[in-house]
Structure 1
């Protein structure tokens, strides 16, 4: 089997191997950050950790390129921690088990962290090089991009000298990104009241699994199943007829990942267990038929559990089921301006049952503020009708496209010069940090590029080896083509 660190370009893959070896899920990036700082100091580079934990590393121009505009290469340090249910893995302690599978690098049962580990590795490889031509260079590595964009929110004016920023967080070779969606978190709180269960009831847990999941932005248009919504649909169709008494509803783990698994615990009359099994088989066949192309492997698993001491009251249970079943999810509108790109979407990402309430965490994305506002209004109305509470937080702006961007033209021309064809200029339905950087650096010229990454934010994540080499060659050529300061 080919070793990761022997792939082309070797300096990049050697860094990626190190990145995989050091746990760095969102909120727990410090070990990797410290490793990078220690390395940068040993290289004699100027490295600063700002007040929120971002790293800024500066490297002088190579001889003869001192007059070029200052460029910042930007990536985020953290990765999304997702694993298969049968995989034993502690993202805060265990390394990512990356391996080569044909033309792809994958991980064993977990997310790979190519999002944005490949971009970070490329920036560090350039910092460590002695033969790559570039002008004055800065590398900005932000924290917590996947869980709240804390690093991007906290970046202050004056930390960077760059006139140009190259974001490395895009996920399709041959596409150059010049804009992205903004977003906001919505948290719906459904009040819970409880009652004693029927003493002669049977107790079970029903788990819905086998869905592909994926990135709630770039994969949202693929029509994949949402485990939370599918299980809510099951309850809406069968709970009353089966006389189910809900104990809890749990699903998803991240607001920005399409939930792959969800489960409910409940009681029902023992006489209804045979009907329950029939309903499960019927529902599973229905969903598999509906998602035969997009997501064909949904599975429902029933297991007996110990009898609980309380169940949801009938009123609370009905309110929860109705709200979840009615809650919008997925693509809300496609863009009129950018063909084939989602304009506005909603992901019902995480459901958790607490003593006083059931919490439903959603992520709204939109290329336009009015689209985001519309979905906020829909969720607010739904919460009011259901007697639930709702709060919105963590709003971040989109990155408005600039058709006159000089660095965009440099990247376009450079790509054409290498590959003799024009790249596709795109806007991405995901939250790149560029929109937030525009606040402290309003005049900074920005562009985003990257290799082909499939199924980020899921254990199926993989990065195409050939496109990593193409991305690397493009990045180095762009750095060499940066113009002199005006």
Structure 2
């Protein structure tokens, strides 16, 4: 067991993980980390390409004796989801991630860790840096904006690659081989706000939904965790039945691919209705703590007076449209796979709600392993917008990754796992967006697989990475590289 981060970074993988953790790399803020990767390659006299999307491709020739082995593409993404606990002082634009060890797990300090997908970057750099690890010719590609738009992978020029075998290192479960994933698309409903002057003799209150666990909107959608944006819609609708109020803003969630943990609204109510309002909030606490006692026992609804004075509010029609939108926009699991027991086939997550000076934006992340089902989710979401007189847009559409029954790289991983651990690796598919689908779409005949160590609660400030699993998965990865030399690639 490692007792300190200083001890841990003696291992090459964790050394590079620590180095990149010093560099802010939230999605859309990847220039510094991209430049770091370029400089890393130049210092080692490796061929490097940095494209307009800030993707970085680093190439390294085959080790002696590996010249006949097919070129291998190793892939991950450099960006991370930036989430922090409320009250945490951390600027993701400039502050390093503060690493800490708890037992055999690596955590950040009240922020996301960035193991998703810093692990891939660390593995790649450790491999490229080493002089004593045998390997085939390597084409390492580290992409940008995977967590938001998949824009980096979508912008990759396939002409920069010779390899037809891809190992993606963006999986989150050791001893499991990921061979298929869902496609996805971002949808946004745009509700124009009609403002009115705030009525006199009212008090403004901040209404908050907090204490939810959240999680990755693909990997955790089956866990039944509460969505703070949807919960806020229920509360606002319920209050409207009993306590007259005016609505001034709603803001919740940090990313469309994260189940929102916190949502805040500002409401105005008559001064003589505060006791009734507080009683209704307590009722909602009881209701939600009962509903979510297993998935989110920490859920809590709070009400606090707002200072300074609020001067404008939504019109009654805007308020009703906002509440209706929160209630009716599709959310959660839509269909389950009939082929793989327990696998979510299609889902959608109302991840971000934002109030601007002119609009209320409601952003969702739809996923499906079946293209037609993804299109159905989008159609239903667009009908909600159309019915309410809102505009609607889609973006960041990326393809699913279909299972390849004849994958040769899967056979190599299976053989090595059987020999190394005396048991078969588990073959899995996930309900999450993996860049493999984009690369397969760009490079005809590409044979892909995804691996990774055990990590937990990604996209939340409780994200943590298993240290022994990271080391084990690294050693398994190196054993596969060695096996590639003797494998019959022509069979």
TM-score normalised by structure 1 residue count: 0.97
Structure-2 separation of matches of 1:442 and 1:460:
39
- Distance in 2 (CA, whole Å) between partners of 1:85 and 1:285 is 23
Instruction: Give the structure 1 partner of residue 402 of structure 2.
Output: 400
Asked if the contact 2:408/2:489 (under 8 Å) is kept, the reply is no
Please say if residues 184 and 366 of structure 2, whose CA atoms lie closer than 8 Å, have aligned partners that are also in contact.
Answer: yes
2:28 alignment counterpart: 27
Q: Say whether residues 1:344 and 2:356 are aligned partners.
A: no
Alignment match, 1:84: 85
SS at match of 1:61: coil
Whole-Å separation in 1 of the counterparts to 2:359 and 2:40: 47
| SS of match in other structure, 1:78 | coil
* Aligned positions of 1:12-411 closer than 5 A: 12-305=13-306, 306-411=308-413
Aligned to 1:455: 457
Question: SS of 1:232's equivalent?
Answer: helix
**Partner Cα distance (1:9, 1:466) in 2:** 14
Choose from 400, 408, 432 the match for 2:434.
Answer: 432
Asked whether the equivalents of residues 151 and 396 of structure 2 are also in contact (C-alpha less than 8 Å), the reply is no
Contact 2:16 2:125 in 1 (8 A): yes
1:111 is displaced (CA, Å) by 0.4
Could you tell me how far 1:326 is from its partner in structure 2? 2.0
Q: Give distance in 1, aligned partners of 2:338 and 2:261.
A: 30
Q: Deviations over 1:346-370 (max 9, x none)?
A: 1001111123321100110101111
Give the match's secondary structure for 2:349: strand
Gaps of 5+ in 2: none
The answer to whether the Cα contact below 8 Å between 2:399 and 2:441 also exists between their aligned partners in 1 is no
In structure 2, relative to structure 1, the CA distance for the partners of 1:44 and 1:412 (3 Å cut) is same
Mapped to 2, the partners of 1:320 and 1:17 lie a distance apart of: 44
- Give the conservation status (yes or no) of the 8 Å contact 1:243–1:268: yes
d(CA) in 2 for partners of 1:203 and 1:137? 60
Aligned partners of 1:455 and 1:351: how far apart in 2?
22
CA RMSD across the alignment: 1.4
Could you report, residue by residue, the CA deviation over 1:424-454 in whole angstroms, capped at 9, with x for unpaired residues?
1111111110111122211111100000111
1:384 positional shift: 2.0
Q: How far did residue 48 of structure 1 move? A: 1.4
Structure 1: give runs of 5+ residues left out of the alignment: none
Instruction: State the SS of the aligned residue for 2:174.
Output: coil
Q: Which residue of 1 aligns with 2:481?
A: 479
Contact 1:185-1:392 at 8 Å conserved across structures: yes
Superposition deviation, residue 198 in structure 1: 2.2
Q: CA deviation at 1:36?
A: 2.0
**Secondary structure in 2 matching 1:439:** helix
How many Å apart are 1:254 and its aligned residue? 0.8
Higher mean C-alpha displacement, 40-49 vs 217-226: 40-49
CA contact (8 A) 1:211 1:227 kept: yes
- Output the CA distance in 2 between the equivalents of 1:172 and 1:427: 12
Q: 1:284, 1:102 → 2: CA distance?
A: 34
- Kept in 2, the 8 Å contact 1:68–1:484? The answer is no
Which digits, 9 at most, give the CA deviation of each residue in 1:245-289, with x for residues without a partner? 000111111111111111010111111100111111110121111
Q: Give the TM-score, by structure 2 length.
A: 0.96
What secondary structure is seen at the aligned counterpart in 1 of 2:433?
coil
The structural deviation recorded for 1:8 is: 8.4
With 124-133 and 193-202 compared, the bigger mean Cα shift is at 193-202
Instruction: Please give the alpha-carbon distance, in whole angstroms, between the structure 1 residues aligned to 2:335 and 2:432.
Output: 15
Question: Structure 1, residues 303-344: CA drift from partner, whole Å, max 9, x if none?
Answer: 211332221111111121122112221111111122211111
Aligned counterparts of 1:472 and 1:8: Cα–Cα separation in 2 = 15
Give the SS at the match of 2:296: coil
